Chain A
Amino acid sequence: MNRCLKKYGLMLVLLGIAGCTEFFVKPDRQDQWRIRENDRIVLHYREPGFSDDPSPTPGEAAFILNNQRLYYRAIQDSIHRDFSEKVLIYLHNQDEAVKHIGTGGGGHSIPKFNAFYFSFFHAGREYTDQYGVENPFLGAHELVHVISHQTLGYPGTKLMSEGYANWLDGSYAKYDIGAIVVYYRDNEPEKIMTPDELLFQTERPDEVYYPNAGVFTAFLVRQYGIEKVNRLFTSGKAVFISDFGRIFDASWKDMNEKYALYIEGLAP
Chain B
Amino acid sequence: MTPNKHSGKEILIFIFILLLFPVRHGRAQSFPEDSSRFQVSTGVFFYRSYSQQKTDMPMRSGYPVLKTRTAVLGLNYRKINERATHLLSGQVSVPAAMGSDNGTGRNFLLQKAGSRYTFLNMDYRLTWPLLKTGAFVIRHGMSSGLFFEDRHLAYQGNASEATRDWNIYLGPSLQSGYCINKNWKITGEFDARLYVPFLNYGLLRKSNSSGQLFFKRAYHSFFYQALFRLLLNYKRVSLGVVKSDLAGFASREPDFETEGMLHHKLDRHFSIQMSVAL
Contacts and interface: CB of A to CB of B under 8 A. Distances in A.
B4 interface: no
A33 B192 contact: no
Interface in B102-138: 102-104, 106, 108-109, 130-131, 138
Nearest to A156: B260
Contacts, number: 151
A152 interface: yes
A25 interface: yes
Contacts of A84: 157-159, 209
Contacts of A117: 53
B33 interface: no
Nearest to B247: A25
B215 A25 contact: no
Contacts of B156: 85-86
A16 B108 contact: no
Contacts of A85: 109, 155-157, 159
Given A27-B62, A88-B64, A113-B109, A19 B56 contact: no
A83 interface: yes
B102 A25 contact: no
A69 interface: no
A8 B55 contact: no
Contacts of A35: 104, 106
Q: Secondary structure at chain B's binding surface: helix, strand, loop or mixed? A: strand
B58 interface: yes
Q: How large, as a class, is the contact surface on chain A? A: 35 or more
A84 B210 CA distance: 11
A90 B103 CA distance: 10
Interface in A1-46: 8, 11-12, 15-16, 18-31, 33, 35, 42, 44
Contacts of A115: 51, 64
A25 B155 contact: no
B60 A27 contact: yes
Contact of B55 (A20, A31, A102, A156): A102
A154 interface: yes
Interface in B68-102: 100, 102
Interface string B209-245: 1000011010000001010100000000000000001
A179 to B, nearest CB: 28
A19 B228 contact: yes
B59 interface: yes
Contact of B54 (A18, A42, A100, A156): A100
A154 B260 contact: yes
Q: Which 4 A-B pairs have the closest CB atoms?
A: A153-B215, A84-B157, A21-B245, A85-B157
Interface of A: 8, 11-12, 15-16, 18-31, 33, 35, 42, 44, 82-86, 88, 90, 100-102, 108, 110, 112-115, 117, 150-158, 202, 234, 236-237
28 contacts: A11-B140, A12-B174, A15-B174, A25-B58, A25-B60, A25-B245, A27-B62, A28-B62, A33-B103, A33-B104, A44-B102, A82-B209, A85-B157, A85-B159, A86-B156, A86-B157, A88-B64, A88-B109, A90-B53, A90-B62, A112-B153, A113-B100, A151-B214, A153-B214, A154-B217, A154-B262, A157-B260, A236-B260
Given A21-B247, A154-B261, 6 more contacts: A22-B245, A100-B53, A113-B64, A115-B64, A117-B53, A153-B215
